[in-house]
Amino acid sequence: MASQPNPSRSPNQGAFRRVRGFWQRVTEGLAIDQLWGQFKSEAQAGYGLYSQDVDWESINREHSKWKRKLLAAWALFQTMLMKLSPARRVLLLLAMIFIVVNAKVSTANGDINFNLEGVGALILFVLLALELADRVTMKRDLEIAREIQQWLVPAHPPVVSGMDIAFATRPQNTVAGDYFDAFLRARPSGEPDSHRLILAVADVAGKSVPAALLMATFQASLRALSATPASLGEIVTGLDRYTRAHSLEGRRFTTAFLAEVDAVTREMRYVNAGHNDPILRRASGQIERLSTGGPPFGLPLFTDAETAYPSGHIQLEPGDLLFVFTDGVIEAVNETGEEFGEARLVPSVQAAPPESAAEILKRVSAEVNTFVGYARQHDDITYLVFRIVS
C-alpha cells in the first residue's frame, strides 16, 4: 500500500528546516551579537597586522585631512597586496581593474559589452579559494603541532594526599609558548616519590611555533633533570645553562617559576626566574608575593660565572593557596585596549572562597574572560592553582 503524504509536514517546513540547519552549521550556533563581536575582534586584529607595516609618521605629516585618509588607505592596500605571492598580487590588481572598468567594443553590428565585473568577481573568488587552501593546510599542521604540545603537558594533575592542584591555558594562537607542569619526582628506583612534588610554570619569549618548540625543549630538560638526585638549585642551574645555549643570544629567553614541595612537611622551596611573582594567599587571607630568584633563563652571560639563583623557603599550612600565572593574564586586554592588570587579579584571588583548586581557577579565569570579551589577545594565558587541603 502506498504511503500517504503527511499533511502536517509541508514542503515549506522542510525547506525552512534545511535552511535553519545550514545556518546553524555556518554560525556554529553563535547568536548575531556574538558573531558581530567576533568579527570586530578579528577586524581589529587584522588592522593591527597590516598597520604595523605602514609609515604613519610620513602620512601624519600631511596637513590635509582627506589626503591623510587617502594615503592611509593606499598604504594599507599596498601592505595587504605585498602579503600575497607575486602571481596573486597580479591577479588581485587585474580583478580590481576589471571591477572598476567596463569594456565596450564597437563593431559593425553595434557595441558589444564585456561583463568584466563578473570576471573580476570570479578572480576574487579564485584568490579567496587559494588563500583558504593555504590557511587550511597551515591550520592542519598547527593542529598536529598542538596535539604534540598537549602530550608534553599533563592532562590531569597528580594525586597527592592533602594537596589540590588545577591548571589551565588559553593559547594566543593554536600553539603556545607557555608551559605548566606538576609531577612527582622519581625515586632512585624510578618509582614516583609521593613526598616530592614539582610545580612549574614558564613563559618562552615570543609566540606561536618558535616559542612552542623552545617550550618543548624546556619541558624535556626539566623532566630529565628532575629524574636525577639533583637539588632544586642544581635543576635551575642546569635549565639556565641549557636555555642559554638555545636562546639565540638571549632573544628567546624564558621566565619561569619552579617549586619543590615536600608533601609530608609541607615545606616549599622555590625559584622565581624573572617570572611574574606568584600570589600566595594564606588561610588568614594575607597575601604574599614570591619573588626570590634571579633573571630569566637564557640571558647572555657577561662573566665566566654561572648566574646565581637563590631559592626561597615557605612553610605552607592548611588553607594556603598558591596562584601562579603568566604575564598573559595581567596583560589581557579588552576591546578598548585596557589591561586586566594585577589591580584586578590580586583582589580576585584574595576574594575567592575556599573552594577546590579547579573551582577557584574557573572563577578567576571567568573574570578574565568576561573582562576581555571577544578581544583577540596578544599573549598566551596560563594559570596554576595549588592548595593545601589538610
Q: What is the mean pLDDT of each run of 10 residues along the chain (390 residues)?
A: 55 77 80 77 76 83 82 87 89 86 56 71 89 80 69 85 92 76 83 84 80 83 91 93 76 90 95 96 95 91 75 95 95 90 94 92 93 83 93
Q: Is the separation of the CB atoms in 216 and 181 below 8 Å?
A: no
pLDDT at 257: 97
pLDDT at 114: 63
pLDDT at 250: 58
pLDDT at 10: 62
pTM over 0.75: no
Q: Where in the chain is the domain with CATH 3.60.40.10?
A: 157-388
Specify the long-range contacts of residues 125-134, CB closer than 8 Å, at least 24 apart. 126/91, 127/84, 127/88, 127/91, 127/92, 127/95, 130/88, 131/88
Domain 157-388 fold: Phosphatase 2c; domain 1 (3.60.40)
pLDDT at 167: 94
pLDDT at 137: 78
Provide the H-helix boundaries in the chain.
11-27, 32-51, 56-60, 65-82, 86-100, 116-152, 208-226, 232-245, 327-330, 342-351, 357-372
Q: Which helix (H) or strand (E) is 162 found in, with range? A: none
